Every structure is written in structure tokens, then in C-alpha cells.
A and B are shown apart, each in its own frame.
Chain A
């Protein structure tokens, strides 16, 4: 199985900051990585798919990059509604696997 790791596990930031989350796959996954946002008690929400494609309706302050084994999710101009946990997921092979998550806290 492909293992996904994320760093940092948590980050404190202020409104208006830029936050970058890194995701690494244990083997190459081409660009088959998606990013999800989850708020407490809610289902995950798709943000980015195929490494850098923005899902319809997601603000353009979210962006994704990467290919192979290393990927990033960047949130520019952090907004109050962005404080949540973010997960990467590989869709290169089965079983699909998620990273452990990165929690974005209010500083």
C-alpha cells in the first residue's frame, strides 16, 4: 500500500497569512493526489484534485502543486472559515490512502 505523510501535523496561523501543507507519498503517484478540508462534525469537502485542479466553487486562494511523490497545498490570505483539518489522498492505486491530516489553528 502507498503511505501518505503530511507535515506539519498542525499549524497556527492568523487571518491573512499564507499556509503551506506538504504531503509525501511512499512511492510515485503521478499527479493522482486530492486534497480535502474537514471541519468538526462535518463530512470532508473536496478542494483540489489531480494535484492542482481546483474543484468548482472552491475559492482561488487554495492551490495545489506537485507530482511524483511530493505535493503541496497552499492557502493564501487565510480566512476565518479556513480553520479546519486538511487531508491529502492518493488515487494512483488501490487501496486509496489518506494522509494523517494537518490541523490549521487560529493563532
Chain B
């Protein structure tokens, strides 16, 4: 069974840094398009970033230059390093995979990041 699980969320002050992890089972993070999507409280879904092969990356304008996505092949995990966090980065962060026909499946249960002083 393919499964994704996020960890690393929590409360952080504005300007701080946090690293989210997404542990994968049943798929290889190095050969899939691994994706982060977030959802602010009471709001819709926002695509954040994607990494493929550990090299190809893409970011939403709202996070480019502050967030960095990476993978660890040995742990079959991919990460979202979030720097210079802002209050409007507060959201549940989901990891998912963009698979054949560019569909997002499966999804992890999400991890909550709260940016507040």
C-alpha cells in the first residue's frame, strides 16, 4: 500500500524556520513527482512545491526564495525547509505525489504549521 505521512509541524514565531518531513512507503521519492500542498485555516487548497528526481523543483510564487524542497533517498523521505516564515504561512501542509496523468494521489493526513508571536 502506498502511504505518505507528514511530520514536523508546530508553533513557530514569524521569521523563524521549520522543516517538514514526508515519509513515503510503497513508492520511491526519487522516482516520483513529490508535492506539497497547503491549506490555511478555513481556506482552500494552495499548491506549494514539487520535486522530481532530487533535482527538478518548482515553487509557488508565494514561497519561492523562502522554501526549499529536497529528498533523502536513504530514508525515502522528502522535506520542505521553510525559512523566514510569515503569519500567512499558517496552514495544514499535505504531502502528495503527482502520478501518471498528473493526478495527486495519495495524500498524507497533513501537519499543522502555526506561525504566530
Contacts and interface: CB of A to CB of B under 8 A. Distances in A.
Given A43-B109, A89-B47, A95 B58 contact: yes
B103 A101 contact: no
Tell me the dominant secondary structure on chain B's binding face: strand
Contact of A91 (B46, B61, B98, B105): B98
A26 to B, nearest CB: 15
B73 interface: no
Given A43-B94, A49-B102, A95 B47 contact: yes
A68 interface: no
Contact of A34 (B50, B58, B94, B103): B103
B2 to A, nearest CB: 12
Contact of A44 (B50, B94, B98): B94
A71 interface: no
Contacts of B47: 89, 95-98
A50 B60 contact: no
Interface size classification for chain B: 20 to 34
Nearest to B100: A49
A93 to B, nearest CB: 10
A28 to B, nearest CB: 15
Interface in B10-35: 35
